[in-house]
């Protein structure tokens, strides 16, 4: 019996946690049915290393941006810089970008400036924006609405763990919510309830590895293979069997990350 295929829509394969292990962890992912993954560059100066991983491994695509927690430490991205990077055939998203007022509230103003630059780049390239949001729900909703009013763009709220209000604001704009291992934690029922109110057509799954490993690996290093554990919880949330949930969320990924889907078809 074949294992249902699923996509890890957000991981960090360039982090030191995975050094020298890429081939092995991609093989373990395949054994679990995770046949594609998007590795995320969080500082633009590291884009060459992240790109090299995607070029070396067929199942791996990549995105790049300036993480909000690094926004004050890095040069502000430029729209033309992001547009140029997006010409690479395996570059499939803009970010991650966003707002984090939990750890880095002191840089809120530069975070907002950085986010708006990334929104402009997503609009210009037609690639989805990848958003990190923590303790900044009101500002995040306002900036996303403002940006969309200036011209539509696609977006995923990565590792969504914010409140119902931000979920509704994102969904009302046609955006997607991504389930990470947080959604599988026993004490995350309130978050699962928020996901349950969303249309299934707007749901993705991810690991955010090496962080946030779902049970039964909680507290250990996360990796793309563990997408399957979160997806099994997601299937329960939506009252589906695992194979159906895997197929539906993979179709959602292909719709949002259409460049990755086109590359895979042509390969």
pTM of the model: 0.97
Q: What is the pLDDT of residue 193?
A: 98
Q: What is the pLDDT of residue 265?
A: 79
CATH of the domain spanning 6-262: 3.20.20.140
Distance (Å, rounded) from C-alpha 180 to C-alpha 110?
A: 27
pLDDT band at 1 (very low <50, low <70, confident <90, very high): low
Distance (Å, rounded) from C-alpha 83 to C-alpha 90?
A: 13
Summarised one tens digit per residue, pLDDT across range 48-78 is 999 999 999 999 999 999 999 999 999 999 9
∠17-157-26 over CA atoms, to 5°? Answer: 35
Q: In the chain, count H helices and then E strands.
A: 10, 8
Given a cut of 90, whether residue 116 has pLDDT beyond it is: yes
Which residues neighbour 146 within 8 Å (Cβ) at sequence distance 6 or greater?
A: none
Distance (Å, rounded) from C-alpha 215 to C-alpha 209?
A: 14
Distance (Å, rounded) from C-alpha 256 to C-alpha 250?
A: 10
Q: What is the pLDDT of residue 2?
A: 84
Mean pLDDT of 151-173: 98
Peptide bond into 260 cis (omega under 30): no
Given a cut of 80, whether residue 267 has pLDDT beyond it is: no
Paired strand residues for 11: 39, 209
Output the known binding site: 10, 12, 96, 132, 158, 208
Mean pLDDT of 168-185: 98
Sheet-wide strand order for 203-205: 6-11, 34-41, 60-64, 91-100, 129-134, 155-157, 176-179, 203-205
Output the known binding site for a divalent metal cation: 10, 12, 96, 132, 158, 208
% of the chain at pLDDT higher than 70 = 99
pLDDT band at 239 (very low <50, low <70, confident <90, very high): very high
Distance (Å, rounded) from C-alpha 22 to C-alpha 223?
A: 10
């Amino acid at each position: 019996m074949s294992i249902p295929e699923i996509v890890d829509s957000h991981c960090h394969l360039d982090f030191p946690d995975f050094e020298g292990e890429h081939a092995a962890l991609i093989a373990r992912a395949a054994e679990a049915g995770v046949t594609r993954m998007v590795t995320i560059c969080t500082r633009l100066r590291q884009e060459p290393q992240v790109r090299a991983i995607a070029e070396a491994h067929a199942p791996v695509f990549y995105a790049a941006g300036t993480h909000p927690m690094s926004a004050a430490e890095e040069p502000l991205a430029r729209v033309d810089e992001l547009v140029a990077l997006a010409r690479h055939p395996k570059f499939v998203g803009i970010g991650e970008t966003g707002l984090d007022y939990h750890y880095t509230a002191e840089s809120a103003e530069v975070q907002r400036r950085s986010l708006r630059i990334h929104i402009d780049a997503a609009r210009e390239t037609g690639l989805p924006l990848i958003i990190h949001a923590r303790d900044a729900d009101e500002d995040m909703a306002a900036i996303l609405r403002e940006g969309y009013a200036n011209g539509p763009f696609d977006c995923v709220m990565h590792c969504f763990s914010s409140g119902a209000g931000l979920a509704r604001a994102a969904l009302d704009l046609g955006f997607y919510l991504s389930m990470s291992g947080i959604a599988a934690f026993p004490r995350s029922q309130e978050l699962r309830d928020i996901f349950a109110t969303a249309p299934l057509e707007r749901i993705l799954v991810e690991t955010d590895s090496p962080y946030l490993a779902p049970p039964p690996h909680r507290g250990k290093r996360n990796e793309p293979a563990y997408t399957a554990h979160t997806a099994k919880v997601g299937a329960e949330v939506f009252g589906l069997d695992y194979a159906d949930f895997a197929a539906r969320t993979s179709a959602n990924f292909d719709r949002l990350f259409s460049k990755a889907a086109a590359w895979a078809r042509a390969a």
